[in-house]
Amino acid sequence: MTPHQTVLLDELVNALALKAGDIAIDCTVGGAGHTEKMLQAVGPKGLILGFDRDERALGLARERLAGPLATGCLRLIKGPFSSLGQVVDAAGLTGKIAGVCADIGVSSMHLDEVERGFSFQNDAPLDMRMDQEGGRTAAELLADIELDALTQLLRDYGEEPKARQIAKRIVHTRDETPITTTAQLAALVKAAAAYPTASRKHPATRTFQALRIAVNDELGELQSMLDSGFAVLKPHGRFAIISFHSLEDRLVKHGFLALTGRRERADIPRDIPLREIDVVQLMHVRGQIIKPFPMLPSEAQIRANPRARSAKLRTIEKI
């Protein structure tokens, strides 16, 4: 298995501007790289809450961070983003959180664990669940989804230009034999899409992305985190998110912009005489974006970890 390499490690933790004694949340513990760095920032009197819905990731984090767990500086919680608000509220910490971060999408560990079925590089059961203790697998989803719904799924979540051809081939094939393995699906998509062999991406890349997003409700969970993650922050607390593809980044960008009130400003008639303070009140400004453009990994980081090339970090501060 390829060792997990944390993307934008220093950049994300620096963006949170944590201080000694702060309480912060890592919504995606994963390999625990960001979590460990955050623990160093808040010190022995601080607290980090670490969320992940993958029990294997949490197990690795327990081993790596046994010391902070023993001293109470770290609490690990198994659950999706949608449980964040409820957990924080139950702990009496809403409005006391100095920083919330997330490194969203599929991790290197998921891709490298062949049996999880996230990658088509090796043959494996077509699973794709981040939480393997429940929910439908990708194979189960493909077994009964209707043609129109599958076409829309591939278009919306995979941005696949040949969604209809691929969906038709999947539906036709499953009527004769179940689609249960990654190699089977990859070969089927390759034949249906008929992309040039010189194409940089494997023809099945977008299809696998779409299915993974659907199986794990990734965009729904991300929207839930955007809402609850900002709500639990204290004034001047920061929210930092790393995304890896355009669907995620678009949701984060627009979610953060909505919190700044900029969309509401565009709806205010220009011919009404208003002071800037009046405009701000009408805009319902709740946060300010730290930098107007996302932070990207350096060339050195990309060389060391090619999977980092599409990472984008955006940060907002609560007013």
Claim to verify: residue 91 and residue 144 sit in the same structural domain: no
CATH code of the domain containing 184: 1.10.150.170
Residue 299, in any domain of the structure: yes
Claim to verify: residue 60 and residue 148 sit in the same structural domain: no
Residue 288, in any domain of the structure: yes
Q: Of the residues 161, 194, 216, which one is the last residue of a structural domain?
A: 216
CA distance between the termini of the chain: 43
CA 244 to each of CA 43, 85, 118, 307: distance values in angstroms, whole numbers, following the listed order: 30, 24, 15, 9
Residue 101, in any domain of the structure: yes
Residue 2, in any domain of the structure: no
Return d(Cα 177, Cα 196) in angstroms, integer.
27
Claim to verify: residue 181 and residue 266 sit in the same structural domain: no
Q: Do strands 97-103 and 312-318 pair parallel, antiparallel, or not at all (unpaired)?
A: unpaired
pLDDT at 269: 64
The pLDDT tens digits of the residues spanning 261-277 come to 876 555 556 666 767 66
Q: Of the residues 188, 216, 244, which one is the last residue of a structural domain?
A: 216
Q: Of the residues 191, 216, 241, which one is the last residue of a structural domain?
A: 216
Q: Looking at the 3D structure of the chain, how many domains does it have? A: 2
Residue 3, in any domain of the structure: no
Claim to verify: residue 99 and residue 223 sit in the same structural domain: yes
| Vertex 56 angle, CA 53 and 59, to 5° | 105
CATH code of the domain containing 85: 3.40.50.150
Alpha helices in the chain (DSSP H): 9-16, 33-42, 55-64, 66-71, 84-90, 108-112, 138-144, 147-158, 163-176, 182-193, 205-216, 218-231, 246-260, 262-266, 276-283, 299-304
Claim to verify: residue 92 and residue 124 sit in the same structural domain: no
- Least Cα distance to 254 among 217, 297, 214, 222 occurs for 222
Claim to verify: residue 95 and residue 224 sit in the same structural domain: yes
Claim to verify: residue 28 and residue 105 sit in the same structural domain: yes
Q: Do strands 47-52 and 74-78 pair parallel, antiparallel, or not at all (unpaired)?
A: parallel
Residue 277, in any domain of the structure: yes
Claim to verify: residue 139 and residue 50 sit in the same structural domain: no
Claim to verify: residue 192 and residue 257 sit in the same structural domain: no
> Contact 266/280 with Cβ under 8 angstroms?
no
Return d(Cα 144, Cα 281) in angstroms, integer.
50
Claim to verify: residue 79 and residue 227 sit in the same structural domain: yes
Return d(Cα 131, Cα 134) in angstroms, integer.
6
The mean of the pLDDT values for the chain is 91
Claim to verify: residue 167 and residue 247 sit in the same structural domain: no
Number of other CB atoms surrounding residue 257 within 10 Å: 14
Residue 210, in any domain of the structure: yes
Residue 190, in any domain of the structure: yes
pLDDT at 303: 94
Claim to verify: residue 162 and residue 233 sit in the same structural domain: no
The pLDDT tens digits of the residues spanning 158-198 come to 999 999 999 999 999 999 999 999 999 999 999 999 887 66
The parts of the chain modelled with pLDDT lower than 50 are: 1-2
Q: Show the domain range for 147.
A: 114-216
